[in-house]
Structure 1
Amino acid sequence: MTAWLPAYLIHGDDHDRVAERRSRLKATAEAEVGAEGVEHLDGDASTPAAIADTLSAMTLGLGRRFVLVDGVERWKDDEVTARLVPVLKVLDGTTTTVAFVGMEDKKLQVPASLAGAVEKLGGAKVHEAALKSAQLPRWAKERASQLGIELDGAGAQALVQQVGERRVRLERELEKLALEYGPGARISTSEVEGAVADAAEQQVWGLVDAIVAGDRNAAVSSYLALRAQGEQLARLTGLLQSRMRQALELARRLEAGEDRQSISKAVRMSPWQFDRRLVEARDAGSATLAAAVDRIATLELAARGDSTLDPDTEAIRVIGAVTARR
């Protein structure tokens, strides 16, 4: 059974990591008392006064009581001091755990009075600050060391370049590397490139499949999913162009009369991938794929900020154009 503290404060401007810590804490609590045993307050129900009333109210539940509070970054110091602090001072930490979660930014910050009250109660404070791009390789090396592997500088740079700048995704890939290579392993660029196998590249194939098939909805959904997980438009554009040119090459070789065996020797690809891509290229035709490659080239302008449209708007517009079938 988990040794629970009376209070937790999870906050910071790295919203991914704040959300992940919140989810882990909530899942652990639900595993102990069931989903219905965790009281969740958010929105209009999340005010210092409302939380004070909730914590003061009697409960008929058995075992530890869990209260999860979101949105504390909107609270004011004076309200916390006047309404909530007195209740926290007398909170029975042997039977109740309250977790405060704050998604901070430059304008919204968790009140200092709440942080102080959690500390005085004997609770835990976790601050997740967003890192700048230049800080991520160093963080990756430190996190790799904590996982029992040694990641050199070049490998750390390669990891950030391949996976993107979201620490949640970087951590997942580091965990995979630790599992694959084992404790004490020394990881550099070649190991990163081989083990990560560029998840983005694999997912880009799904985007390519949808574009080649003329499936606009699937292509847009795939693109938005890649962007949502932190893929940079410039890098995504390069991967997409590379894969589309590969499909175009297959189509041109087919139309030139080359047989499957000779094409497979010229194109480096797994047998399963090759058969699938060959069928797609044949069905789409070189004219359609050539036009798509030309249109996708305009995404490079958007990635550099040269377009008058928002980069994602420009990307979706281009996807719509290249998936149109006359």
Structure 2
Amino acid sequence: MQLRPSELSAHLAKGRLLPIYVVHGEEALVVLEATQAIRDAAYQQGYGERQVLTVEPGFKWMELTASGQAISLFSEQKLIELRVPNGKPGVEGGEALQVYATSAPADNVLLLQLPKLEKPQLSSKWFQALEEVGATVACPTISRNELPLWIAERLARQQQRLSAEAMDYLVARVEGNLLAAKQEIDKLALLHPAGELSLDDLQAVVADVARYDVWGLGEALVAGDASRLSRMLDGLKGEGEAPTLVLWAMADEVRALLKVGVGRSQGGNLQQLYRENRVWGDKQKRYPAAIDRLKASQLKAALAHAAEVDRIAKGVGTGDVWEELLKLGMRLMPK
């Protein structure tokens, strides 16, 4: 069984727990909340003993088998937490998990916690065996496009909602920092009554806690979002990010836009062009409009500008590298 994090609470409220739960993903807050929800449900349903096993150097997989078979001294039901920090149980671990899944003790619940898994792990025999008898909960990163819905769902739990202006304001200030977003939302419950909150309400209390990575720069370029791009460059500069890495991310997106645009004009298959130029996910939806907006001559000029910025970053040219990065981005924004 596969469950989304948003479906987990309703599932746990139904009653009897499944023998196995696998929580995996890279969004730390979502993983933390999912695992805690399972722990709380287990406690409420009489699983009075909790045992934690961590797969690290020296770990013996027979410990999992022994834990499943051991009779609890304190409770008839036991929660076994197994943590695999690298997400790779290996041959021995994979076999041990398959064996456990085929004969999972009825009076125990196994909670397996893993990081983000790649396709080989998701299609492995051990993962499929666990999914067949239990539930898997994937916790991927909440993208910027998904963030408004995530915020709205959490606000709804405290009977609050945001105006469109207020939502844009909050998203801009918590992007890339989900834990801080949660804290700001919790703060709103303490400081404001139920109902709709305005931009003025948020400006008085919400801190700017956004955290950016260089990969988001390409999204801002493609979307033509000048204010977001400017905020991201300021944030990356303040966090001490290397300007050479920032330049690489921006130039790589410009090259992809140019290649996809030229390929489309020559009758190429758009999906194939996306694959060849590593254009993934929601960005694909914005690419056609970006290609229509940006001429090939603009993109070629931007690459020439990027070469100049590279010389500045390496100390060969003159000028402020961060100012030039901003100018590079602004020349690709809608007029």
Instruction: Please identify which structure carries the higher helix content.
Output: 1
2:67 corresponds to: 54
1:192 corresponds to: 202
Give the fraction of aligned pairs with identical amino acids, expressed as a percent. Answer: 19
Displacement of 1:18: 1.3
* RMSD of aligned alpha carbons: 4.1
- Partner of residue 103 from structure 1, selected from 89, 92, 115: 115
2:128 corresponds to: 116
Flag the 1:99–1:110 CA change in 2: closer, same or farther, 3 A. Answer: farther
Q: Distance in 2 between the 1:92 and 1:27 partners?
A: 20
Name stretches of at least 5 consecutive residues in structure 1 with no aligned partner. 202-230, 239-300, 307-326
Note if contact 1:11-1:110 (Cα within 8 Å) is conserved in structure 2. no
1:40 corresponds to: 52
Q: TM-score of the superposition, structure 2-length normalised?
A: 0.49
Displacement of 1:107: 8.4
Q: TM-score of the superposition, structure 1-length normalised?
A: 0.50
Q: Distance in 1 between the 2:17 and 2:323 partners?
A: 49
Note if contact 2:177-2:209 (Cα within 8 Å) is conserved in structure 1. no
Amino acid aligned to 2:100: V
Flag the 1:66–1:138 CA change in 2: closer, same or farther, 3 A. Answer: closer
Note if contact 2:97-2:130 (Cα within 8 Å) is conserved in structure 1. no
1:12-161 equivalences in 2 (<5 Å):
12-23=25-36, 25-26=38-39, 37-42=49-54, 43-44=56-57, 50-71=63-84, 73-76=87-90, 79=92, 82-93=95-106, 95-104=107-116, 109=121, 112-121=124-133, 123-161=134-172
Q: Deviations over 1:187-218 (max 9, x none)?
A: 2322222243x2759xxxxxxxxxxxxxxxxx
Q: Deviations over 1:204-256 (max 9, x none)?
A: xxxxxxxxxxxxxxxxxxxxxxxxxxx97834988xxxxxxxxxxxxxxxxxx
Flag the 1:55–1:159 CA change in 2: closer, same or farther, 3 A. Answer: same
Amino acid aligned to 1:158: Y
Is 2:183 the counterpart of 1:172? yes
SS, match of residue 8 in structure 1: strand
Amino acid aligned to 2:75: L
Q: Distance in 1 between the 2:84 and 2:323 partners?
A: 36
Displacement of 1:33: 6.6
Note if contact 1:47-1:75 (Cα within 8 Å) is conserved in structure 2. no
Aligned residues: 209
Q: Deviations over 1:151-196 (max 9, x none)?
A: 233222211333342223212322332444344x112322222243
Displacement of 1:13: 1.8
Flag the 1:71–1:57 CA change in 2: closer, same or farther, 3 A. Answer: same
Name stretches of at least 5 consecutive residues in structure 2 with no aligned partner. 1-12, 211-230, 239-319, 326-335
Amino acid aligned to 2:183: R
Amino acid aligned to 1:234: D
Displacement of 1:98: 1.0
Displacement of 1:69: 0.6
Flag the 1:187–1:47 CA change in 2: closer, same or farther, 3 A. Answer: farther
Amino acid aligned to 2:202: V
Q: Distance in 1 between the 2:189 and 2:143 partners?
A: 24
